[in-house]
């Protein structure tokens, strides 16, 4: 069996069992993907995928085990390549970071500015997506680290390291009544249309949970994937927003105002996610420490060591 075949079956699953989409993502032909899967199944002696009318509908029971092993093999090969690059190139290399809009726009600029100055021979690549997307990138070895909020789905191959919390504020047009109420309450906020983060973001879950726990059902008039889009429509007067405080800049957002709402809504925790078997290059550890100084080399290495020990059943 070939490493290429393992990559093919993993990509098929990532593309929701669509062979044509997998072939396109792999920059090859659909018949070529089908042929390699058939060769792998012939060598294994059983089918990896269930099929109906020549269409893949999902993995078989033994196929699930093959996929688990394939994922480990592919990510281990990525770690091995990183080790080779580290030994051969020293401080040179590429660091691919999967991150959400809020982190890329408001948290990382100063970190990246300093990192580029201190590591001029390292190329940084930012790949944006929602929290699920960026963790999937890391899980598939398409990114080295992910920086974002929590996810709905658990990814057992990843280690999540908490970095810091982001409190929330109510953001509205400067002339909006919500900015003038003597006491900011959930009832007062729920009295106005709300512009919120998309449901794939923990900011939405936490805000809605606070309302639900208080027996309130606010009207969500618009959902968006990032704070800048939310603020555009807040500025038009379509509603108010409950956004992470870091996304409000008094200078840039001169038409808007904000009030601290940290006493009403739980903050979002930002995590750095890594593959448990990743090879930690020196500049990767430097970047992680720049994002969250408490995540020293010893802390990160210890977390990965503990995760790998747990996977192998070691004490």
pLDDT tens digits, 201-219: 777 888 999 999 999 999 9
To the nearest whole percent, how much of the chain has pLDDT over 70? 95
Q: What is the tally of structural domains in the chain? A: 3
Tokens found for residue 293? 């100084």
Question: Are 252 and 138 found together in one domain?
Answer: no
> Under a CB-based contact definition with an 8 Å cutoff, are residues 221 and 193 in contact?
yes
**Which tens digit of pLDDT belongs to each residue from 250-307?**
999 999 999 999 999 999 999 999 998 888 888 999 999 999 999 999 999 999 988 8
Using the predicted structure, report yes or no on whether residue 193 has a pLDDT greater than 90. Answer: yes
Report the pLDDT value the prediction gives residue 14, as an integer from 0 to 100. Answer: 85
Question: Are 206 and 231 found together in one domain?
Answer: yes
Using the predicted structure, report yes or no on whether residue 314 has a pLDDT greater than 60. Answer: no
Question: Which residues make Cβ contacts (< 8 Å) with residue 4, sequence separation at least 6?
Answer: 36
Question: Are 275 and 159 found together in one domain?
Answer: yes
Q: What is the CATH number of the domain that holds 56?
A: 1.10.10.10
Q: Rounded mean pLDDT of 101-123?
A: 93
Q: What band does 315 get if pLDDT is binned at 50, 70 and 90? A: very low
Question: Are 156 and 176 found together in one domain?
Answer: no
**Which tens digit of pLDDT belongs to each residue from 178-189?**
999 999 999 999
Among 70, 105, 126, residue at a domain's last position: 70
Question: Are 185 and 198 found together in one domain?
Answer: yes
To the nearest whole percent, how much of the chain has pLDDT over 90? 59
Q: What is the CATH number of the domain that holds 229?
A: 3.40.190.10
Tokens found for residue 167? 């409190």
Q: What band does 86 get if pLDDT is binned at 50, 70 and 90? A: low
Q: Rounded mean pLDDT of 153-177?
A: 92
> Under a CB-based contact definition with an 8 Å cutoff, are residues 256 and 241 in contact?
no
Would residue 81 count as lying in a domain? no
Report the pLDDT value the prediction gives residue 53, as an integer from 0 to 100. Answer: 81
Q: What share of the chain is helix, strand, coil (3-state, %, to 5)?
A: 45, 20, 30
Would residue 84 count as lying in a domain? no
Would residue 285 count as lying in a domain? yes
Q: What are phi and psi of 159, to 5 degrees?
A: -110, 125
Report the pLDDT value the prediction gives residue 252, as an integer from 0 to 100. Answer: 92
For β-strands 49-52 and 145-148, DSSP reports them as: unpaired
Q: Rounded mean pLDDT of 89-95?
A: 74
Question: Are 173 and 257 found together in one domain?
Answer: yes
Using the predicted structure, report yes or no on whether residue 88 has a pLDDT greater than 70. Answer: no
Q: What band does 134 get if pLDDT is binned at 50, 70 and 90? A: very high
Report the pLDDT value the prediction gives residue 87, as an integer from 0 to 100. Answer: 61
Q: Provide the domain limits for residue 227.
A: 168-266
Would residue 82 count as lying in a domain? no
Report the pLDDT value the prediction gives residue 311, as an integer from 0 to 100. Answer: 57
Q: What band does 91 get if pLDDT is binned at 50, 70 and 90? A: low
CB atoms within 10 A of CB 126: 15
Q: What band does 59 get if pLDDT is binned at 50, 70 and 90? A: very high
**What burial letters (b/e) apply to 21-39, b meaning 16+ CB within 10 Å?**
ebbeebeeeeeebbebbee
Using the predicted structure, report yes or no on whether residue 36 has a pLDDT greater than 50. Answer: yes
Would residue 28 count as lying in a domain? yes
> Under a CB-based contact definition with an 8 Å cutoff, are residues 156 and 164 in contact?
no
CA atoms of 170 and 193, how far apart (whole Å): 12
Q: Characterise 236 by phi-psi region: left (phi > 0), alpha (psi -120 to 50), beta (else).
A: alpha
CA atoms of 172 and 293, how far apart (whole Å): 33
Using the predicted structure, report yes or no on whether residue 170 has a pLDDT greater than 90. Answer: yes
Task: Provide the mean pLDDT of the chain.
Answer: 89
Question: Are 107 and 160 found together in one domain?
Answer: yes
**Which tens digit of pLDDT belongs to each residue from 221-242?**
998 878 999 999 999 999 999 9
pTM over 0.85: no
């Amino acid at each position: 069996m070939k490493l290429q075949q393992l990559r093919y079956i993993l990509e098929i699953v990532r593309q929701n069992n669509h062979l044509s989409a997998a072939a396109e993502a792999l920059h090859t032909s659909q018949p070529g993907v089908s042929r390699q899967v058939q060769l792998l199944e012939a060598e294994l002696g059983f089918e990896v995928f269930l099929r109906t009318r020549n269409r893949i509908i999902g993995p078989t029971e033994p196929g699930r085990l093959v996929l688990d092993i394939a994922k480990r093999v592919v990510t281990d090969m990525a770690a091995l390549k990183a080790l080779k690059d580290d030994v051969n190139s020293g401080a040179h290399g590429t660091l691919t970071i999967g991150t959400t809009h809020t982190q890329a726009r408001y948290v990382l600029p100063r970190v990246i500015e300093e990192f580029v100055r201190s590591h001029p021979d390292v190329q940084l690549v930012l790949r944006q997506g929602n929290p699920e997307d960026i963790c999937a990138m890391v899980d598939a070895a398409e990114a080295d680290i992910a920086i974002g909020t929590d996810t709905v789905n658990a990814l057992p191959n990843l280690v999540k390291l908490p970095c810091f919390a982001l409190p929330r504020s109510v953001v509205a047009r400067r002339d909006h009544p919500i900015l003038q109420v003597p006491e900011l309450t959930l009832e007062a906020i729920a009295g106005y249309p709300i512009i919120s983060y998309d449901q794939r973001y923990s900011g939405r879950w936490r805000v809605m949970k606070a309302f639900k726990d208080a027996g309130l059902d606010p009207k969500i008039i618009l959902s968006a994937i990032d704070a800048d889009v939310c603020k555009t429509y807040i500025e038009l007067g379509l509603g108010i927003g409950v956004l992470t405080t870091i996304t409000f800049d008094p200078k840039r957002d001169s038409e808007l105002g904000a009030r601290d709402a940290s006493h009403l809504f739980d903050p979002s925790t930002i995590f750095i996610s890594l593959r448990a078997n990743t090879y930690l290059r020196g500049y990767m550890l430097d970047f992680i420490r720049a994002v969250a100084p408490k995540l020293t080399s010893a802390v990160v290495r210890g977390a990965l060591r503990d995760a790998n020990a747990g996977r192998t059943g070691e004490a």
